[in-house]
A and B are shown apart, each in its own frame.
Chain A
Amino acid sequence: MSKVVVVTSGKGGVGKTTSSASIGAALAKAGQNVVVVDFDVGLRNLDLVMGAERRVVFDLVNVVQGDAKLPQALIRDKRLETLHLLPASQTRDKDALTEEGVERVIEGLRERFDWIVCDSPAGIEKGATLAMRFADVAVVVTNPEVSSVRDSDRIIGMLDSKTRRAEQGEKIEKQLLLTRYDPARAARGEMMKVDDVLEILAIPLLGVVAESPDVLTASNLGCPVTLHDPASPAAKAYTDAARRLMGEALAVRVPTEKRGFMERLFGRKAAAA
């Protein structure tokens, strides 16, 4: 039984594409047959993050419009043979997508893959609504700051009203992935805490990914962090998130501040003084 996952957020720059690639790679590493679909037509990035930018021939728009067959547009990852990419078009815009076309493509993908991870564009317009339209599960990517949280809240409302599942009266599963979390700043009260975000959004927590240079390094190298540096805390958080998506009951680890011995010593002293 294949599952369609939409990775969405409303706000831009919170880490949707990075998270799509990292979770997709983690699922594929666990032996699942995975395709990651870039819905950001006109601003395609997923191919870069997955290191396939030189291999794009046909794209999602070509398949939606019937100019290419699905297997022609799918790109198999060179590192993991169960991981595939369906890239977006860089030259077209989001109006090139139609609901019927997207439905046909998703149906075609459902026959081939266990997991279809849809990387949504930012915003709440057509591109974003089409990316979520046929999803079974939504991963809501949020940064611990008020604007991102409010935009995510808006997106959750749309997931509950504009998806096919919601229209048919079924529940769409929504899970929160908190990214770019900085435990030190959260401890100092400069950033929203995990509980604050959960209290506002009121959906289950899929994972917390700490702000980390590892993620940016991996993205720039065109390799999802879960493949590039599996031992890094960010990769572990994404891998755990993927395992939770597969149904494993795994407690969420919230990153805590790492302080050196001296720092702790001085911190104590300062507190005592």
Chain B
Amino acid sequence: MLTTETLPLPRLRVRGRSFMALVVAPELPLAGWMAALDAQMRDVPGFFSNRPVVADLSAVAAEARDDLAMLLEGLEMRNFRLVGVEGAGEALLAGTRWGRLATELHGREIFDAMYGDRPQTPESQASRPKSPEPEPPGPALANSLLIDGPVRSGQSIVFPEGDVTVIGAVASGAEVIAGGSLHVYGALRGRAIAGVNTSGEGRIFCRRLEAEMVGVDRLYRTADHWGADLHGRPVQVRCDRGTLRLTALD
């Protein structure tokens, strides 16, 4: 008797691993940008080799839509390992051999790579914590930042690495941006954004809500959007199934 018994297939193991991809953002005019790229690559040869590269085409997609394939060709000629494109719809590259590149790669900006060119006021730099040792990117955010005093108007506290605790008020005209949750032991009068790195897991807690704006991840609300009944009360702000929810804590 013949059975069509199949051999058990080996179990596939899928593992997760994160890589740092470099994002290049070409600018117009393309010829000039390419020349600058070549000059830079002469200075730091091998900077891009063996690194996954994402091309951010948002600055050029509208103007140079016909030249995009050529641009990507040019990047590959320089041994760029393109894994995806950003800022250009799939339609723009459909039909070319680049049409299969991923267009929706998610990731988070590695902050340390941005230190140099991020526009910052000297004060916000002063109020920034010392640059922490580069950490392997991942969801684990063990770090937290404690600010032992009020955040003054005009100051900007940006801490994408984790939670922020403020012992004091956040003044009108000040902003605090936390990768995780944000705790304000005082009045929250400025702007507060939490959860920029935990995709909606972060929350905002404050002793008194008088804020200009609160946000979690990419959801924002300004003072016009919450009722007078929450004004001045201790409040929690969190992201709940895609909407921002503000609830009184007392």
**Looking at A153, A158, A202, which has the most chain B CB atoms within 10 Å of its CB?**
A153
For the complex, is B168 an interface residue (Cβ under 8 Å from A)? Answer: yes
A150 touches B173 (CB 8 A): yes
Interface string of B126-162 (1 = CB under 8 A from A): 1100000000000000000000001111110000000
For the complex, is B85 an interface residue (Cβ under 8 Å from A)? Answer: no
For the complex, is A156 an interface residue (Cβ under 8 Å from B)? Answer: yes
A202–B166 Cα distance when bound, in Å, is 14
Residues of B within 8 Å of A151, CB to CB, are 153
What's the least CB distance linking B167 to chain A, in Å? 11
Interface string of B176-211 (1 = CB under 8 A from A): 000000000001010000000000000000000000
A202–B187 Cα distance when bound, in Å, is 12
Number of interface residues of B (CB under 8 A): 18
A158–B189 Cα distance when bound, in Å, is 19
B150 touches A202 (CB 8 A): yes
Residues of A within 8 Å of B126, CB to CB, are 161-162
A200 touches B155 (CB 8 A): no
B123 touches A150 (CB 8 A): no
For the complex, is B169 an interface residue (Cβ under 8 Å from A)? Answer: yes
Residues of A129-174 at the interface with B, using a CB-CB cut-off of 8 Å, are: 150-151, 153-154, 156-158, 160-162
For the complex, is B122 an interface residue (Cβ under 8 Å from A)? Answer: yes
For the complex, is B103 an interface residue (Cβ under 8 Å from A)? Answer: no
Residues of A within 8 Å of B174, CB to CB, are 157
A199–B123 Cα distance when bound, in Å, is 23
In this complex, what residue of B is CB-closest to A203?
Answer: B150
Knowing A154-B153, A157-B152, A160-B152 are in contact, say whether A202-B168 is a contact too (CB < 8 A): yes
Knowing A161-B127, A202-B168, A202-B169 are in contact, say whether A153-B153 is a contact too (CB < 8 A): yes
Sorting the interface of chain A by its residue count into under 10, 10 to 19, 20 to 34 or 35 or more gives 10 to 19
A200 touches B123 (CB 8 A): no
Residues of A within 8 Å of B58, CB to CB, are none
For the complex, is B236 an interface residue (Cβ under 8 Å from A)? Answer: no
B123 touches A153 (CB 8 A): no
B122 touches A157 (CB 8 A): no
A154–B150 Cα distance when bound, in Å, is 11
Knowing A154-B154, A157-B153 are in contact, say whether A162-B123 is a contact too (CB < 8 A): yes
B171 touches A200 (CB 8 A): yes
A13–B150 Cα distance when bound, in Å, is 26
A161–B171 Cα distance when bound, in Å, is 16
What's the least CB distance linking B190 to chain A, in Å? 10
Knowing A162-B122, A162-B123 are in contact, say whether A157-B168 is a contact too (CB < 8 A): no
What's the least CB distance linking B40 to chain A, in Å? 34
Residues of B within 8 Å of A156, CB to CB, are 152
A157–B157 Cα distance when bound, in Å, is 12
Interface string of A183-220 (1 = CB under 8 A from B): 00000000000000001101000000000000000000
Residues of B within 8 Å of A199, CB to CB, are 187
A225–B208 Cα distance when bound, in Å, is 41
What's the least CB distance linking A60 to chain B, in Å? 25
In this complex, what residue of B is CB-closest to A159?
Answer: B152
Residues of A within 8 Å of B169, CB to CB, are 200, 202
A157 touches B123 (CB 8 A): yes
What's the least CB distance linking B156 to chain A, in Å? 10
Residues of A within 8 Å of B154, CB to CB, are 124, 153-154, 157-158
Residues of A within 8 Å of B150, CB to CB, are 202
B172 touches A157 (CB 8 A): no
Knowing A160-B152, A202-B150 are in contact, say whether A153-B173 is a contact too (CB < 8 A): yes
B interface, CB within 8 angstroms of A: 122-123, 126-127, 150-155, 168-169, 171-174, 187, 189
Q: Other than A161-B127, A200-B169, give 13 A-B pairs with Cβ distance below 8 A.
A: A153-B152, A153-B153, A153-B172, A153-B173, A154-B154, A154-B173, A158-B123, A160-B152, A161-B123, A162-B122, A162-B126, A200-B189, A202-B150
21 contacts between A and B (CB under 8 A): A150-B171, A150-B173, A153-B153, A153-B154, A153-B171, A153-B172, A154-B153, A154-B154, A156-B152, A157-B151, A157-B152, A157-B153, A157-B154, A157-B174, A158-B123, A158-B154, A160-B152, A161-B122, A161-B127, A200-B171, A202-B168
